[in-house]
A and B are shown apart, each in its own frame.
Chain A
Amino acid sequence: MGLHRHAGLWLLVSAMLLCCVSPLKAELKNSQHDSHSNSNITGISIVSFKWEHVKAPYIVAVWVLVCFLCKLVIEANHHVTSIIPESALLICAGFILGGIIWGADHQQTFSLTPVVFFYYLLPPIIVDSGYHMPNKLFFSNLGAILVHAIIGTCWNAATLGLSLWGCQKGGAMGDLDIGLLQYLLFGSLIAAVDPVAVLAVFEQVHVNDVLFILVFGESLLNDGVTVVLFNVFDAFVTLGGAQIDAVEIIKGIISFFVVAFGGSLLGMVFGILMCFLTRCTKNIEIIEPGFIFVVGYLSYLTAEMLSLSAILSCVFCGVCCQKYINANMNENSVKTVKYVMKVLANGSETMIFVFLGISAIDKTIWVWNTGFILLTLLFIFVYRFIGVFLLTWPLNRYRLVPLEFIDQLIMGFGGLRGAVAYGLAVMMDEKKIKEKNLMVSTTLIVVFFTVIIQGILMKPVVTWLKVKRATLHDLTLIEKVQNRVFEHMLVAVEDISGQIGHNYFRDKWKNFEEKWMMWMLMKPSARKTQDHVFSVFHQLNLKDAVEYVTEGERSGSLEFIRNDSVLIDFKKKLGDDMLEAMPDVTADTSFDQGIMLPFRRDPVPSVSLEMHEQTMNGLREMEDLNSHHLLQEHLYKGRKQHRHRFSRNHLSINTDEDEVQEIFQRTMRKRLESFKSAKMGMALPKTISKHTKKEQQKTPNGKNRISVDEDYEFSEADSASGYDPSFTYRAGGGIENPAFMADLDPVVPLQIPPWLAEAELDSGGVAPSQRAQARPPLTAGDLRRLAPLRISTQSTDSFMMADIPDAEQRRDSFDLPPPPPPPP
């Protein structure tokens, strides 16, 4: 509520600023001249008010600021935004601002001009939607989308124009000087579903994917039709009715194909250009994102220049290149592109709606003809529904999963008109079309009606009709693998039955892509890491690591990391190597939580650096090895063969470990090694216990073996270098202590043998002595301590007893040959 007050104040202030600006403009024009002439006479002015110099950029910047402030105010209260969509509220804010300006200026100095709209505000939104388009969904439903976009829009335009003309003939609208062609022109500009409005409204509703892509795809692709229809009818209106003959009509139809396909092809060309560019930009990664934006914008402008469909061009540019760009570019660049695009798109959308509101507050454009306006609204609504039902009926015959009646209702209801219609209306020539103002007013009313009223009603209608909603969840590995299996299955069955179906084409495309496209368009390094399942695996592991760290941080126990001197080197070395060696897998799983590994933190204060320097000598070698081993462990490629040999033998024994534990152990070990004198905080095992318990309950299946093997391997290598191995597995042992899982923290230190106590918090002083004790290299006996910890997770008693029989088994396993040399 406090925010409310402040936000309102800001808004008022900015509005005041605005209306001060405009009258000031006029005054300053004069005063500037004066000051110029004056300055020659009176001497040097110490400061001067250089309004004219900064006028244009200043106004633009202030407007952008004001629009964003509006958004800030609106988003302050979630209750309101959950009922009324943000776009509606923005339009209302535009009304208010328009009113203020009108009051100050008595004319509407700022309105949504077609130039600003079509060249500056619309492109970011379209580029963003193209780049983030869900390709698979889009292309599977492409047939339905195209049918609705082309035939649906034509139907809407024709029926609307004809009905309105019919009504005029019937006298329902009074005396209007509009011919049939002009009605058709009006119909064509108001018929198109608007992508901006659809995005704005559907974004908050979260309907199921198929429904969304149908409406959204239609809104994007119908631009081809809209542009053609508008230009054709505009030309017809100019030519006059007499000169329209078959030739002209045929030319119109041909122009449709040229515009639509030309626009798409142009977009694809730019998309491929983008891919090539990103393929070669390894050395200038810092401005890689810039290429994307510039080329995307160029695709829009070039299509405009060639009078092709600019929206189609942008969309296909984004659609074609997204996969390759995301693979080619640096991870950071991909994130940058994604976020900057979202900022630009959101900002543009905000500005469009605010300006729409402002433009409405202009007495000069308003012509009110009740009949015209009401009939338009009615016809738009009715014909949309009729059109959707008529088109979906034959489509359902050919669709794999037919569209239900309820989905069709929502599709009809989602036919929102928006700023594109308004922009086109304003572009009409007044001399040719006498009733331009009426049309502009009607367009505005239609836009407001659909965005505000339909926007408000959308959510309740969707809930009331129980439309299937979108399910957002991260894919597990099984699901990813299974999806692949399904795909192959379907291809196989289609092959068997000799049918050429969807999957056949998809498979053929995949093969083609793998052979040619990837070779051409993707960097060699990116090509290798294209596998879906592996990327999901990678993401899941990173997610676990991040979860572990955030959990630890929440409990404040990872504080010592920041004081840890040795970690500096780890960070640097790991950081660089990670970037190279880790596959750049990003877009597929769109993992937003941030791929920040624990060590990529704020730099350590310099005090620790000095400490670090002093103790470095003895630790340098060990450190390198540690980082080396850490690299090997973090990068799952480094798994050694013998570990898995272990795992197969001891699969049945180990139960309750899992991947997260593994990451725990490794990171814990890393920290403990470098930890010479400080005591471990009490909080640490508690954190671990919480986490492990959580993990335990989730996935009781064990991965112990691998962790043990890691310890073994790690320690072995360390002992080889003369470093004390005890830390490593002891630390691991401490973590693995089943007593933790049973949550017997206070009891545990008593029951656990002293050599394991170091991992417990209160006996931090044991650490040095452990070093003394554990000089000799790893023996089976030592490992025995380690192993049983993981086995028995029930209680410390069983842990003690489990020690002995398992030791027998362990001994056998650990009599295996010493670890083989690292894999090639």
Chain B
Amino acid sequence: LSFLECSWRFCGRFKALWMKAALPDFKIRELTENPIGGRIIAAFFPPEKERLDFPSFVRILAHFRPIGKNRSRDRAQPEQANSRTGKLKFAFELYDQDRDGKISREELLQVLRAMLGLQVTEEQLRSIAERAIQEADLDGDGAISFDEFKKSLEKVDMEHKMNIRFLK
């Protein structure tokens, strides 16, 4: 199934839903319970835009398609959304809210705080962030660039982690 066919097929359902999601006070209840729900919503919106149109919506969801294999035209476009790099880029941008191309200690701390919050004290969070950055940071600038991020996750099996079934 090509990507466009896929999106056309779910057009109706998605249209209803992205209208819901596009509202700033996200009406989808479960998302409020999700620690990174806000960031994900924000990721759907292109930078500095307040409204989300359907193609952009679908473009973001395309990140979650399984990695295609036998399509020759993929090689021509290195930044295919559902390629491994594309998926990692999406994940990277969840951390990097200010879009400076690096995950700073503060940004990592924010994500950690959101995900670990209650059980772990502030100092522990900072140590964890510190340690995580140490492990990944290869050029020693105290922040994680996209390449370092990619390298530290090179052993992770993205196929299982970032695919949604309905988008096959």
Contacts and interface: CB of A to CB of B under 8 A. Distances in A.
Interface string B125-168: 01110111111111010101000010011011001111111100
B94 to A, nearest CB: 7
Contact of A488 (B36, B127, B152): B36
B121 interface: yes
A199 to B, nearest CB: 24
Given A140-B160, A398-B165, A534-B116, 15 more contacts: A401-B66, A481-B108, A481-B115, A485-B36, A485-B91, A488-B37, A489-B36, A490-B162, A491-B30, A496-B17, A496-B21, A534-B128, A541-B131, A637-B124, A701-B140
The 8 lowest CB-CB distance pairs between A and B, nearest first, are: A639-B123, A477-B132, A486-B161, A700-B140, A495-B30, A492-B40, A701-B137, A478-B152
B123 A644 contact: yes
A494 interface: yes
A481 B66 CA distance: 22
Contacts of B163: 400-401
Interface in A481-538: 481-486, 488-499, 501-502, 528-531, 533-534, 537
B137 A699 contact: yes
B156 A493 contact: no
A252 to B, nearest CB: 35
A493 B164 contact: yes
Interface stretch (A281-289, A651-659, A738-746, A771-779): A651-659
Interface string B1-42: 000000000100110011001000000101100111100100
B36 A478 contact: no
Contacts of B138: 700
A478 to B, nearest CB: 5
Nearest to B60: A493
Contact of A489 (B21, B130, B162): B162
B128 A498 contact: no
A636 B123 contact: yes
A476 B162 contact: no
A381 to B, nearest CB: 31
A671 interface: no
Given A401-B159, A485-B94, A641 B142 contact: no
Interface in A449-486: 471, 473, 476-479, 481-486
Interface residues of A, number: 60
A639 B122 CA distance: 9
Interface string B60-90: 0100101000000000000000000000000
Contacts of A706: 130
A540 interface: yes
B91 A486 contact: yes
A213 to B, nearest CB: 13
Residue in A484, A501, A656 with the greatest tally of chain B CB atoms within 10 Å: A484
Nearest to B151: A478
Contacts of B13: 497-498
A531 B164 contact: no
Interface in A687-705: 699-703
Contacts of A530: 119
18 contacts: A400-B159, A478-B136, A478-B144, A478-B153, A479-B155, A491-B30, A492-B40, A493-B64, A495-B34, A496-B40, A501-B165, A533-B115, A534-B120, A541-B131, A641-B123, A647-B126, A659-B131, A699-B134
Interface in B89-121: 91, 94, 105, 108, 111-112, 115-116, 119-121
Contacts of B156: 479, 482-483
Contact of B164 (A494, A640, A647, A655): A494
Contacts of A528: 119
B38 to A, nearest CB: 10
Interface string A141-181: 00000000000000000000000000000000000000000
A528 B128 CA distance: 17
Contacts of A488: 34-37, 40, 115
A5 to B, nearest CB: 44
A477 B135 contact: yes
B61 A483 contact: no
A26 B162 CA distance: 69
Contacts of A490: 64, 161-162, 164
Contact of A502 (B115, B153, B165): B165
B135 A478 contact: yes
B164 to A, nearest CB: 6
Contacts of A533: 112, 115-116, 128
Nearest to A644: B126
B166 A637 contact: no
Given A534-B119, A639-B127, A655-B140, A476 B152 contact: yes
A118 B33 CA distance: 49
B133 A701 contact: yes
B18 to A, nearest CB: 8
A237 B26 CA distance: 65
Contact of B166 (A497, A640, A703): A497
Interface in A639-684: 639-641, 644, 647, 651-652, 655-656, 658-659
Nearest to A397: B168
Residue in A140, A478, A534, A541 with the greatest tally of chain B CB atoms within 10 Å: A478
A644 B142 CA distance: 15
Contact of A497 (B34, B61, B142, B160): B61
Contacts of A823: 123
Nearest to B158: A486
Given A485-B36, A530-B119, A706-B130, A476 B135 contact: yes
A398 B165 CA distance: 8
B119 A492 contact: no
B164 A497 contact: yes
Given A493-B164, A651-B142, A658 B134 contact: yes
Contacts of B122: 641
A641 B123 CA distance: 7
Given A400-B160, A478-B152, A497 B120 contact: no
Contact of A499 (B116, B136, B164): B164
Nearest to A137: B160
B30 to A, nearest CB: 4
Contact of B17 (A497, A534, A639, A700): A497
A529 B40 CA distance: 28
B112 A481 contact: yes
Residue in A491, A497, A498, A651 with the greatest tally of chain B CB atoms within 10 Å: A497
Given A490-B164, A534-B124, A637-B123, A476 B140 contact: no
A284 B61 CA distance: 54
Contact of B152 (A479, A496, A639, A647): A479
B57 to A, nearest CB: 9
A401 B160 contact: yes
A573 B121 CA distance: 24
B160 A484 contact: no
Interface string A365-407: 0000000000000000000000000000000001011000000
A488 B120 CA distance: 19
Contacts of B135: 476-478, 699
A485 B115 contact: yes
A473 B157 CA distance: 13
Nearest to A660: B134
B159 to A, nearest CB: 5
Contacts of B161: 483, 486, 490
B164 A540 contact: no
Given A476-B152, A483-B161, A496 B136 contact: no
A493 B133 CA distance: 27
A493 B28 CA distance: 11
Contacts of A641: 122-123
Given A492-B34, A493-B61, A531 B116 contact: yes
A706 B131 CA distance: 12
Contacts of A656: 140
B36 A492 contact: yes
A481 B132 contact: yes
Nearest to A659: B131
